[in-house]
Amino acid sequence: MIAFVAGRVAAISADSVVVEVGGFGVQLYCAPTTIAKVRVGEKARLATSLVVREDSLTLYGFTDDDERTVFELLQTATGVGPRLAQAMLGVHPPAALRRAVASDDFAALCLVPGIGRKIAQRIVLELKEKLAGTSLADDVIVLPNGASASWRESVHGALLGLGYSTREADDAVASVASEADAMTANDENPDVALLLRSALRASSGARA
């Protein structure tokens, strides 16, 4: 098992990070919230999970061991594969997922692209006891908070990484612009994690 990968970040795309290890470039598929924390040219250490298929070996990367644990547990639910499990972690941090499953919060789970009410109900039914037995992590999504202009790029890139089209991401970003402006008016840097959640709620309503 490859427990983690550490090295210089060589490249970043919408859904993956390439880390240089011993002269090789190792591609890790990551949630947008994880990708937002790394920078090309800087060192990174990501926990990993290897998914083996008949025709492929795919390595997924995570901010910490807790995210990896939840990622692997999510896949034990019927109908949840690695891509959907990663999308869930892109929308909700581990503690928020545990709380949603423990409290039967189907609406929160349905914020994830690809999850409808039936899948949400199945996840709750099959994972309530399993997730309750794992350690809690901080209930925080940490994304870079820079100047006012950068929040748009961060939220837009996160939505694209979650499978939204460019137009859907544009509309979702526009829907939270006033919220970001209010933060700036109060001499605060726009909270990218909060704006991402608001954009997901807005886009979920638009898709309904």
* pLDDT tens track for 8-23: 999 998 889 999 998 9
Q: What is the pLDDT, as a whole number, of residue 1? A: 73
CATH superfamily of 65-132: 5' to 3' exonuclease, C-terminal subdomain (1.10.150.20)
Q: What is the pLDDT, as a whole number, of residue 159? A: 76
* Confidence class for position 149, pLDDT limits 50, 70, 90: very low
Over residues 39-54, the mean pLDDT reads 93
**4-62 and 65-132 share one CATH topology?**
no
Identify the residue whose tokens are 């949630």.
31
Sequence-ordered list of residues with C-beta below 8 angstroms from that of 35, at least 6 positions apart, any chain: 12, 14, 15, 16, 17, 157, 161
Mind listing the pLDDT tens digit for each residue in 73-92? 999 999 999 999 999 998 88
Mind listing the pLDDT tens digit for each residue in 88-105? 998 888 988 998 999 999
Q: What is the pTM of this model?
A: 0.67
Q: Give me the chain's average pLDDT, please.
A: 84
| Annotated domain spans of the chain | 4-62, 65-132, 150-207
Mind listing the pLDDT tens digit for each residue in 57-67? 999 999 999 99
Give, for 167, the enclosing helix (H) or strand (E). Answer: helix 166-175
Task: Let me know if 87 is exposed, middle or buried by CB neighbors in 10 A (0-12, 13-18, 19+).
Answer: buried
| For residue 201, pLDDT beyond 70 | yes
Q: What is the pLDDT, as a whole number, of residue 141? A: 42
Query: Which class is 4-62 in CATH?
Result: mainly beta
Q: 3-state class of 42 per DSSP?
A: coil
